Each structure stands twice: as structure tokens, then as C-alpha cells.
Amino acid sequence: MEEITSAIEEKITLIENFISLSLRREKVHDVAATLLREAKHLQTLMDKVQKAVKDLNNLEEDHGNILIRIQRQQTQILEHVLTERRRKIGEAERRKNEVKVAFNISNLPKTEEKLPLTALEKGFNRLNFKNALTPKLTLSSYKESPLVKQRPLYPVPFTFVDFEYHITIEKFESIPKYMRGRESVDELRSFLDTVIVPCFNKKYQLMHRQRSTVKNRNDLDMWKVYNQQSSYVPGRNFITTGDISQHIHRMLDKKQQNRIVMLRHIGVLQEQRVGQTVCYIWNAGV
């Protein structure tokens, strides 16, 4: 009897627990729903935290890049200041040389009057141009100077400031990587200074001389060609592919042609075709 009573009481307890859980099911459901919403909100917050961490990493990377750019700009500013200082010093020297060559030739010592030299050659001898640094003139002053009217016994080397240009690192890095390839800024600078600029200097030194001062047959032939081509690009200074080939004593190879393309990209040269002739116009500083 006791066993039956114990079993009945156990069943009654189970029924009561079931009824109690049934009555609380709705509350349990609400709590579960609330927990689910809070879990979703927590996931959203975690996503935001991860994004913030990623943005922080990007910010650190950007900060590093900015520091590198600042350092490069500081280097370029210093380089520009030094270049300008050298340019101003060179400009002062150039003006001094121009004044001596163009205007002070008549102020020669009496002892030099006995030498069988022209006034211009006496001026060169007095200024000791044989041992001096290469003078620099402007094209406009050269055209009006005695240099174009008389032929000295020995050549006087000089260059034009009109064809001076320094390729900065910033300019070089603005050239697309596919165009640069393995080329370095020093190689491009060397090509400009040893090939392109000398072509311009040689052409316009000869081109503006008076016809009577050009005695050499080869120089005379080139003088005629240069003056004939002067109407190709009026008012602009240019050289041709033939001028470059003549200077380097061979045809342009792919590497040299690509260097010309890079000089065009950074604005030093401008290409223009006149008939069958390719003209490379000096565009720096224009």
C-alpha cells in the first residue's frame, strides 16, 4: 500500500511540475527571445569593433606613408633650394661672362694690339677662356653677340642655359612603372645631359652663326639643313631623330627610344611629326 501511495505521490509531483513548467513556458520563451536579440546586438558590436581595429591598422599604415612622403618632400625642397642656389650663382657667372665677351672686347692691353688676332679673339685670349669653365649663354644674347659674326682661331666651348633641366626624383617617380622598367633616375639624367642637351647646344650654336663664318664643309651642310628645317616648328627649338643619331654615331635603339618617351612624359620634350621628320621640341620651362 505504501508503495502504491508513493507511486501516486510521485505521479502527482510530476503532474504538478509539468503544470508549473507549462505555466512558465511563455515567460521562458520571452527570456529566450530577449537573449537572442541581445546576442544579435552583441554580434553587431563585435563586427563594429573588428572594423574599428582594421581601420586603426589602415590609419597606422597611412601615417607611415605620410611620414615617408614628408621625408621625400623635405629632401626635394632641400634639393630645389640647392639647385636654385647653384642656378643663381651660375646665372651671375653667365652674365659676367656675357658682359666680358659682348661688351668689353675693345678694352684690351696695348701689348695685344701687335698680335695678328681679331678683336674677338683678343677678348677670348684676355679672358683666358681656354682654361676657364664652360661659359653659359642665353640663346637671345648669343644671337646678338660677336660670337655669331667672327670665327676665332680656336673654338670656344659654351652652352645655353635655355637647355638646362634637372630631373627630380618626384618627376622620375611620376613615370609609370611599366614605362620605366629597370631604368634609374641617374641613367635618364645621363641620357638627357650627354645626348639630348648636347644635340640642342650643337645645333643652335651652328644654326645662328653667320654664313660667312662657317668654313668647314660638313658644318656648312648641317648649317643649311638646320636653317631649312627652322620653319618646321616656328618659334620653338627642336632636334630631329637624325640629329640624335648623328651625335651618338648610330641609330636609336629601343632603350634610347624609351628614354625619349619618358622625357616626353615628364614634359622635357614634345614630339611633333612634320612630314617624314620627327621633331623633338624642347618643352622644359615653356
| E strand intervals along the chain | 136-137, 159-160, 238-240, 269-274, 277-282
- Which three cell numbers, joined as nine digits, stand for 81? 633650394
Return the closest-CA partner of residue 145 out of 104, 198, 200. 104
Check residue 157 and give its pLDDT.
72
Check residue 104 and give its pLDDT.
45
**Which domains are present in the chain?**
76-164 (no CATH), 170-286 (1.10.10.1890)
Check residue 127 and give its pLDDT.
43
State how far the Cα of 223 lies from the Cα of 232, in Å rounded to an integer: 15
Quick check: 159 and 133 in contact, CB under 8 A?
no
Most trustworthy range by pLDDT among 31-45, 50-64, 193-207: 193-207
Q: What percent of the chain has pLDDT over 90?
A: 38
User: Which residue would you say has higher pLDDT here, 275 or 105?
Assistant: 275
Check residue 286 and give its pLDDT.
67
Check residue 55 and give its pLDDT.
79
Q: Side chain identity at 105, as an amino acid letter?
A: I
Confidence of residue 21 (pLDDT cuts 50, 70, 90): low
Quick check: 285 and 266 in contact, CB under 8 A?
no
**Residue that is written with C-alpha cell 648636347 in the block:** 198
- Which three cell numbers, joined as nine digits, stand for 225? 639643313
Check residue 101 and give its pLDDT.
55
* CA 253 centroid distance within chain: 22
Confidence of residue 130 (pLDDT cuts 50, 70, 90): very low
